[in-house]
Structure 1
């Protein structure tokens, strides 16, 4: 019997509660059949710049396709479908009144890459700290500077962050955002540790992920639940109607037992 949808965190729309990593991955792969759907439905990874309309303007994000092709794992060099889905989800949720916290919220974007999610969140009024590895922040900073202006209501700054390292904000941010951050079992532990450090009792985590390997998604969900997170899956009828794909899932995480590591 299907459970009634729940409202989690700052998002006012319904979400389907995730009961376990195993059951959720079985449901996602059985229902959505991600491998049978086209990759890069929205992303254009061969272009030097990725154009997209959002927040009433034309955005242009610089990409480095040659860097992406030349080195495995350089995901931050190009825009991915999960980033497009999450950015347009934020815009749609804000326009629908389901995410009023965005305006004025303190937000952290994990693995920000080319910065699309950070840019849209800032244009919607959030004060965003866009984070990525030290060798990725140059491209990220350039895209933020060119797409977010002083008069846009929100702001976007860049910070270097290696998952698992000590990094906290006080007070905790209202939002933690991430797209395509669940990509390998080896990175799950450090990602969950970073989420645990960042997420206070009033923090809502919104993650969009490409459905590539069920074992990686299951590993992440189980690790996050073991760390005290309650998790919900946002169904596609809640997304922006023009930006839906069966190769992406959107999750909400709320830390029910935040234990923040403080050093004096």
Structure 2
């Protein structure tokens, strides 16, 4: 399958981005491309994380981060945010690498991490200078607060705080005022049943200039195709290739997407 050529820059990210859906393949073509070329099942599962451990350590932003995990919570149906996934590590290290490379600016930006879980990407964004709202369901916020306290101190360039956000619910006005510069998410594309709620939330959170960066675990091609097909109705979608990621944190089991909300269509003018 022929890949769409990359273009330079999308939203706030100024590096190369390969458009998704511009060619004839659409969502199905992109999904087939990721599975055919990347062979995600052939790479080791959980290469950067240990789900059985009660904490994950990671060097980022000139310090050693320690993220508390709750492995016992994984036995509860539907709970995935109690541990860090490879996609969270990939996203966090991509943000650091992109900022260090001058391809992304987070200083003084307003960001929101969606389905933050243990909060790795949000904590790294705060250390890189962003003012971050780390959001999740009510029963996940205690762990988030602990990890913020452990990893984002008074010496951080930015700031981090926790807020409740249930997908598909109208977000509290405080989350949108001032408008968000970034929405970040890892492992948020996990079931077809959640796709509509996720996309509705992304639309609620997105201003015209908001850049959405999502790291997806490649577990199920049908789920990813469902998400991309639905997303392309309201968003421009691009894929950030692995050559742009942190060189030590690349995995064919993860895909990195960037989304921008499409401008409203203009009504036809009758002459």
Distance 2:63 2:170 in 1: 37
Does residue 157 (structure 1) correspond to residue 161 (structure 2)? The answer is: yes
Can you list the C-alpha shifts for 1:45-97, whole angstroms capped at 9, x where unaligned? 111110110000000000011111x2132111000000000000000000000
TM-score (norm 2): 0.92
Unpaired runs of 5+ residues, structure 1, are: 260-264
Of the three residues 197, 210, 213, the one matched with 2:217 is 210
Of the three residues 10, 14, 25, the one matched with 1:12 is 14
Q: Which residue of structure 2 lines up, in the alignment, with residue 179 of structure 1? A: 186
For residue 256 of structure 1, report the CA deviation from its aligned partner.
Answer: 1.5
CA RMSD of aligned residues (A): 1.2
The total of aligned residue pairs comes to: 256
For residue 2 of structure 1, report the CA deviation from its aligned partner.
Answer: 4.5
Of the three residues 185, 197, 204, the one matched with 1:190 is 197
Distance 1:157 1:145 in 2: 10
For residue 258 of structure 1, report the CA deviation from its aligned partner.
Answer: 5.9
Does residue 105 (structure 1) correspond to residue 109 (structure 2)? The answer is: yes
Does residue 142 (structure 1) correspond to residue 146 (structure 2)? The answer is: yes
Q: Which residue of structure 1 lines up, in the alignment, with residue 268 of structure 2? A: none
Task: Map residues 216-227 of structure 1 onto 2, 5 A cutoff.
Answer: 216-226=223-233
Does residue 56 (structure 1) correspond to residue 57 (structure 2)? The answer is: no
1:67–1:74 contact (8 Å) kept in structure 2: yes
Does residue 230 (structure 1) correspond to residue 236 (structure 2)? The answer is: yes
1:199–1:258 contact (8 Å) kept in structure 2: no
Q: Which residue of structure 1 lines up, in the alignment, with residue 263 of structure 2? A: 257
TM-score (norm 1): 0.95
Distance 1:222 1:141 in 2: 35
1:110–1:131 contact (8 Å) kept in structure 2: yes
The alignment partner of 2:139 has SS state of helix
Distance 1:205 1:2 in 2: 22
The alignment partner of 2:10 has SS state of coil
Unpaired runs of 5+ residues, structure 2, are: 266-271
Distance 2:56 2:256 in 1: 22
Distance 1:113 1:218 in 2: 24
Distance 1:253 1:105 in 2: 17
Q: Which residue of structure 2 lines up, in the alignment, with residue 33 of structure 1? A: 39
Q: Which residue of structure 1 lines up, in the alignment, with residue 79 of structure 2? A: 74
For residue 133 of structure 1, report the CA deviation from its aligned partner.
Answer: 0.5
Distance 1:114 1:98 in 2: 26
For residue 122 of structure 1, report the CA deviation from its aligned partner.
Answer: 0.2
Q: Which residue of structure 2 lines up, in the alignment, with residue 262 of structure 1? A: none
Task: Map residues 109-124 of structure 1 onto 2, 5 A cutoff.
Answer: 109-124=113-128
Does residue 22 (structure 1) correspond to residue 28 (structure 2)? The answer is: yes
Distance 1:73 1:18 in 2: 29
